[in-house]
Structure 1
Amino acid sequence: MRKTIKKSASKAAADTELSSTIENDLPQQSTDAPSPVPAVAQAPISPFAIAEMNDNKVESVDSDGWAVEIDWSFLDPSRAAPAPVFPIEKLPEPLAELVAKLALARRLVVDFVAFAILAALSGAIGNRARVQLFDGTLEPLAIYVALVGAPSTGKSQAIGMVETRLRALDGDLTASVSGAAMAASHAALDRLNVKIRAKVAERLAVEFEAPEDYREGPRGGRLLLTETTGPGLIEELSADRSGRMLVTHELSGAIGYLSSSQPARSRGLFLQGFDGNPVVVSTKSEGRKLIPELLLSVLGAVQPGRLSYLMRHGDDGFAARFFWVHPDVVPSAALGDNPGPIDDLAGVLSALQGIQPAANEHGYSAAVPLAADARAPLEMAAKKWTTDQMFSSELFSSALGRGRQYALRLAGILQIATHVMEGKSGLPDVVSADAMTSAIAIVDTYILPMAERVFAASDTKPSDAAALARFLARSGKPMVNARADIMRGRGSPVTQALAVREAIEELEQRGVLRPAPQRPGRGRPSSDWIVHPALLAMARK
């Protein structure tokens, strides 16, 4: 398949007074240019040479027809693209004001505060409401959010800010996680005991009546997950239909690998928990067990160095389910001046958790219809994202494919949260075109570009094109033959015919190679390629 190079999305400048205030007063995102591309151990190309090429934008020899500017950043796969700027002005006014005030008071970057709050809103709504596209089709409002940053960038403070309020709602403010897990285990044992006693009574042909406080089937009243292991998840998620939320300060440890003795089952439940569908699982103690509506929201943090570990199986759709938030933030020891309007946030979360679900024969969730005039902008945006899939890497293509879903869920959260913040009761009549337009803008200018940035940063394996470019630089040949010098060349990193062709095509698109003129008298097209002189110069510096 032919590789096509897609340029990173440019930063979107915030143009409102609110965003201007934030830029002046908040901890600043780094505005420095990306650091020079370092040398790779196996490829002795001077990092100063690459840096010089980047800084000077490679003034090529015009008379030879080379491109004036070459982006050499592809030689370093760990070099992340610049982060987009969060468009806070696209949030509804009351929510934008709440985010800005909390960020200012606590000296935190807006990105972390905004998405921590959005995740908390999603968790508080849970499965109580969904967006209705048309009769019989409901989109849940669960979102998965990952705050990515080095230590002291404020991601844990942003999570802690909402976590305290969520735990208060959950009735678990003073109880430890281990105590809650023990209580859940005791409850499971009680239910198992009742079932065993009932079986024994049936075999002995005697009557048995379950205790009054025992109820088979879904129950409610909890918000936060206390377990991420396979059995623990099954026990908690089968207890009610209102949805649960995971809040963790170390995402890579909580999901899929470190905390579970059954990592595949745990990860699988989180994959399915994004969609809110009924799921039947098999357990050793109780056989087949129904989770009536498996719905989860997630808010977690991860350090950049753990991204590749977290995404090593990300192509199963796990990575594409997340909103990745990885701003360019300079670590700071600055302390907040005051808690900010945290009580306002607590009030909104409490009101959202108080939403009455439908809970009738048609389903548990209350439906909020999508307004008729909100469909056209969503379809137009989805068409653009679908087209972009053809020119993107596998991981980023998956994220683009979920663009419509991102926008739908975000629009529903924005609409319901705004409704509550305006002091209105119940649920809004529709998800409006305004909410949809705001959600689309956030997805298009921030969520998707940020996903592209994070996916690129997590892929530390150099591409065939990058490996070939380094090999050609070391070889020092101004012209190479695809068969003799690359496929059969000593030490060539790319030798398979298809891989060689794709790598050469990518380097041609990047302006690093170009086909040599056809030699007179040759019967078939030449496979000779001229190497950019700037690439050869790198190895000599």
Structure 2
Amino acid sequence: MPPMLQTDQPSAQPDSVVRLVHGKQPAHAMGAAAWPDIDGALLDDRALAVPGFPVATLPLPWRTWIDDTARSVNAPADYVAQAVLAAVAGVCGAGVWVRVSAVWSDPLWLWLAVVGAPSSGKSPALAPVRRLLSALEKEGGAPRGVARAAPARKRRPPRIADRRIVDRGIVDRGIVDRGSVETLLEGASGNQRGVVLWRDEPAGCFAPLVAKGAAKSAIRALDPFPISILGALEPDRLAAALHRGEESLAARFLYAWPALPPFCPLADRTPARDDEALALLRAIRATAGTISEPLCLALDEAALATLDGFLAGLHAELREGEGLFAAWLGKGPGLVPRLAGVLHLLDWSANRASDPSIDVGEVGPGAVERAIALWGGYFRPHAKAFFDRVAPADLEARARRVVRWLLASGRGEVSREDVRRIALAQTVTASEADRVLARLTKAGVLRPIAPEARPQGGRPALRWEVNPALQIP
């Protein structure tokens, strides 16, 4: 059953602007020449609906816990689900490898982001999963009462390119929530599974990675280490970072930008069974190995055939892609097998709850099919919506971004440089800015001001008047 589409809640807009969509202008917004109605498509913050996280594709105990946790804090289930994926990747890291072929094996790490405006429920949704990880940290390296299950096949994965991790046994101080890239490297070097960077703060998970404009060098430094990331992002804060050329960083994340859920009455907020979720996560941690003795999850033949079909289709699409979204798509071949590994472990932990003797086994076609559906049907549209907001690559997305800026700034007139440098944060050329201005003029947002001759001569600067409707409080 496909996920139900959810309509996002756009940023609050003046009532007068909404009225303009229906063709009525306030009397005081009429100048000597009446303004045309503003094109409503440019007033919608995110015109396309994005799907909700397909919680129904997860095994029942995890599904129930995610739904109950989200409902208990009246937050999107998407945020809780992202945190669960990060938790599994965090407790496994280099202790679990997904093997696709003799020359293709990857450790189980993921970079995930929860996206939303301030007070959209990110912190309350992430906190319960953070508490589960903290509880596991306090238990130490040898989980009590859980025996490690042997996989059906155990093949040593290829060596990590740079073995700077010293074998000190299992060290479960694996959560880093502040500090720099150096802090991450220090934590990873002392942990035989890796670490998870957990950044739930306004600065976001990009903050330590884009410090001093050095995202590319940070990525190179982190690449040899099994580091997972979960962090919060506020789109409007991120635009400046991306215009400095940090696209390579943004392309590595899986984004969740859900709509706000409807209000849930207090009487309907069922407490989640944290003890059950902790037991499931504990079992996953117990079956993981270390970087020197990892658990290897091989894809079976049917799973390989399913993955091969996905890779073939994506390969054809990538040949025609360009820009930041194309870079994100290019990470798909590596991400889908790792997502399949996480889903396989979630399934195994749920099955093990009823049958402790069950084997981890190989990754089957079902897990790969769900990973493909999750990546393509959920993460892909969310990434597209996110990139259209923070780094728009097409004309319509850029025009909507300028309209948001005009609504926020209340300017009465603008120049091309205002639009190019401030509204679009220098992400476009002068000719591209001209196309945006032409679109806004056609949409009734702007109209050119007749240039005044300069006393000293020379070409007068071009300016545009802003539709007064966008300046009404």
TM-score normalised by L of structure 2:
0.67
- Is the 2:96–2:295 contact (alpha carbons within 8 Å) kept by the matching residues of 1? yes
Q: 1:225 aligns with which of 153, 159, 176?
A: 176
- Is the 2:7–2:259 contact (alpha carbons within 8 Å) kept by the matching residues of 1? yes
Q: 2:249 aligns with which of 318, 321, 331?
A: 318
Are residues 1:239 and 2:190 paired?
yes
- Is the 1:320–1:395 contact (alpha carbons within 8 Å) kept by the matching residues of 2? yes
Aligned to 1:120: 87
Over the aligned positions, Cα root-mean-square deviation in angstroms equals 4.8
Aligned to 1:109: 76
Counterpart-to-counterpart distance in 2, 1:109 and 1:272: 34
- Is the 1:355–1:427 contact (alpha carbons within 8 Å) kept by the matching residues of 2? no
Counterpart-to-counterpart distance in 2, 1:160 and 1:358: 27
Q: Give the alignment of 1:348-363 within 5 angstroms.
A: 348-357=280-289, 363=292
Counterpart-to-counterpart distance in 1, 2:112 and 2:69: 19
Aligned to 2:350: 421
Structure 1's 218 and 93: CA in aligned 2 closer, same or farther, altered over 3 A? same
Between 440-449 and 264-273, the greater mean CA deviation after superposition: 264-273
Between 406-415 and 237-246, the greater mean CA deviation after superposition: 237-246
Q: What's the secondary structure of 1:441's corresponding residue?
A: helix
TM-fit CA distance, 1:410: 0.9
Q: 2:131 aligns with which of 164, 173, 177?
A: 164
Are residues 1:457 and 2:389 paired?
yes
Deviations 1:242-297 (A, max 9, x none): 11011121263554459x9x645687445654x5x3xxxxxxxxxxxxxxxx0111
Aligned to 2:453: none
Between 363-372 and 121-130, the greater mean CA deviation after superposition: 363-372
Counterpart-to-counterpart distance in 2, 1:434 and 1:138: 19
Q: 1:380 aligns with which of 306, 309, 327?
A: 309
Q: 2:372 aligns with which of 423, 437, 440?
A: 440
TM-fit CA distance, 1:127: 1.4
What amino acid is the match of 2:49? P
Counterpart-to-counterpart distance in 1, 2:429 and 2:257: 38
What amino acid is the match of 2:104? T
Q: Give the alignment of 1:255-274 within 5 angstroms.
A: 255-257=206-208, 263=212, 268-269=217-218, 273=222
Are residues 1:154 and 2:104 paired?
no
- Is the 2:95–2:295 contact (alpha carbons within 8 Å) kept by the matching residues of 1? yes
Q: Give the alignment of 1:460-471 within 5 angstroms.
A: 463=395
Q: 1:91 aligns with which of 46, 58, 74?
A: 58
Are residues 1:340 and 2:279 paired?
no
Aligned to 1:135: 102
Structure 1's 426 and 121: CA in aligned 2 closer, same or farther, altered over 3 A? farther
Deviations 1:189-248 (A, max 9, x none): xxxxxxxxxxxxxxxxxxxxxxxxxxx933231221255323323322222331101112
TM-fit CA distance, 1:411: 0.6
What amino acid is the match of 1:132? R
- Is the 2:184–2:197 contact (alpha carbons within 8 Å) kept by the matching residues of 1? no
Counterpart-to-counterpart distance in 2, 1:419 and 1:304: 36
Counterpart-to-counterpart distance in 2, 1:441 and 1:462: 26
TM-fit CA distance, 1:454: 0.9
TM-fit CA distance, 1:121: 1.3
- Is the 1:36–1:47 contact (alpha carbons within 8 Å) kept by the matching residues of 2? no
Counterpart-to-counterpart distance in 2, 1:139 and 1:461: 31
What amino acid is the match of 2:123? S
What amino acid is the match of 1:401? G
Counterpart-to-counterpart distance in 2, 1:466 and 1:308: 12
Aligned to 2:363: 431
What amino acid is the match of 1:218? D
- Is the 1:12–1:84 contact (alpha carbons within 8 Å) kept by the matching residues of 2? no
TM-score normalised by L of structure 1:
0.59
Aligned to 2:21: 51
Deviations 1:378-400 (A, max 9, x none): 23333333444466561211111
- Of all paired residues, the percent bearing the same amino acid is 26
TM-fit CA distance, 1:331: 8.3
Deviations 1:313-372 (A, max 9, x none): 46442112111111111586965844311111111221122124265xxx5432111111
Structure 1's 90 and 310: CA in aligned 2 closer, same or farther, altered over 3 A? farther
Aligned to 2:232: 301
- Is the 1:12–1:85 contact (alpha carbons within 8 Å) kept by the matching residues of 2? no
TM-fit CA distance, 1:36: 9.7
What amino acid is the match of 2:386? V
- Is the 2:97–2:297 contact (alpha carbons within 8 Å) kept by the matching residues of 1? yes
Counterpart-to-counterpart distance in 2, 1:381 and 1:445: 13
What amino acid is the match of 1:445? G
What amino acid is the match of 1:166? L
Counterpart-to-counterpart distance in 1, 2:201 and 2:306: 37
What amino acid is the match of 1:51? V
- Is the 1:144–1:323 contact (alpha carbons within 8 Å) kept by the matching residues of 2? yes
Q: What's the secondary structure of 2:338's corresponding residue?
A: helix
What amino acid is the match of 1:246? L
Counterpart-to-counterpart distance in 1, 2:74 and 2:62: 18
Counterpart-to-counterpart distance in 2, 1:501 and 1:462: 12
Structure 1's 268 and 425: CA in aligned 2 closer, same or farther, altered over 3 A? farther
Counterpart-to-counterpart distance in 2, 1:304 and 1:264: 18
Structure 1's 51 and 226: CA in aligned 2 closer, same or farther, altered over 3 A? closer
- Is the 1:249–1:300 contact (alpha carbons within 8 Å) kept by the matching residues of 2? yes
Q: What's the secondary structure of 1:140's corresponding residue?
A: strand
- Is the 1:106–1:339 contact (alpha carbons within 8 Å) kept by the matching residues of 2? no
Q: How many residues align?
A: 388
Structure 1's 71 and 449: CA in aligned 2 closer, same or farther, altered over 3 A? farther
